[in-house]
Amino acid sequence: MPELPEVETVVRGLRPAMERHRIVSVRLARPDLRFPFPDNFSDILTGARITSLSRRAKYALADLDNGWVLIMHLGMSGSFRVQDTSAETQPGQFHHERSKDTLHDHVRFDMETGTQVIYNDPRRFGYMSVVERRALEQHKLFSGIGVEPLGNALSADYLAARFNGKQVPMKAALLDQRIIAGLGNIYVCEALWRARISPRRKAASLVRRDGRPTQRLHALVDAVRSVLGDAIEAGGSSLRDYVHADGSLGYFQHAFSVYDREGEPCPRQTCSGVIHRIVQSGRSTYYCPVCQR
């Protein structure tokens, strides 16, 4: 499933085609994806101008000038294809090739510029919905969701307050969407490696007795920010090609330090460890047991 950097890259790729442009028509090839489309889905979108495209957690959000917000989630296999009369562009072409089979084209947005933005999803685990902007934060998808990992609200003090007394492993604590929104399996593994923290360590162990964050918790916050920033700059871990606003292709390849590198030497020059893989809460965790404590 695409993680936060991939969704951010897709949002940036869609902006030239959709932001500040009016949706002329919406064509649905079926009544549902993972969930049914709302009854008024096409009516709300048709004729509306997209004032801004943004991301919240792993959701792409399109703010409309009629007070509504289009919510888009890529699911396991969803991707967007941007087409016009002169060229076909991709706002994020995935490292594992995404489907171009028109049989799986489920949603088409016809823009006033003549551009078509097509959502393709072979497995149909993605979904779309609309909600009024004033009710967005109370919507079931966003109510109770944690802070953005790249926003100012994420700090060592914030995590200390939520990790205090928490006896779950660090991996589980960081994946808790009620604490941090959008942080996924790949980047949790990478951030913990950068911060030299074991995924098995209890979350509470990074909080002092008086409730203040330890230095290691400060390092973890820095690691989360840096690994996500590097991944976004590189185009995301699952993304191979990214199309710029001028249509030119840039090639990005993100080399992980530990993720999916079981049995390989730890890339930290001062470490003699070998990357291990364990399963935590049904998910693979990759880490170095020598330098991550």
Show the tokens assigned to 57. Answer: 């957690």
Show the tokens assigned to 176. Answer: 């808790």
Q: Are the CB atoms for 84 and 58 separated by under 8 Å?
A: no
Pairwise CA distance, residues 103 & 149, whole Å = 36
3-state secondary structure (DSSP) of residue 264: coil
- How would you class 218 by CB atoms within 10 Å of its CB: exposed for 0-12, middle for 13-18, buried for 19 or more? middle
58 is catalytic: yes
Cβ neighbours for 217, distance < 8 A, ≥ 6 positions apart: 156, 159, 160, 163, 206, 207
Rg value, the chain, Cα: 20
Show the tokens assigned to 221. Answer: 């916050």
Q: Which of 49, 268, 277, 283 is catalytic?
A: 283
Pairwise CA distance, residues 228 & 123, whole Å = 27
CA dihedral (40, 42, 47, 51) positive or negative: positive
Distances (CA, A) of 20 to 14, 214, 286: 11, 45, 42
Q: Which of 58, 166, 240, 261 is catalytic?
A: 58
Q: Which of 3, 6, 8, 190 is catalytic?
A: 3
**Start-to-end Cα distance in the chain:** 28
Tell me the catalytic residues.
2-3, 58, 283
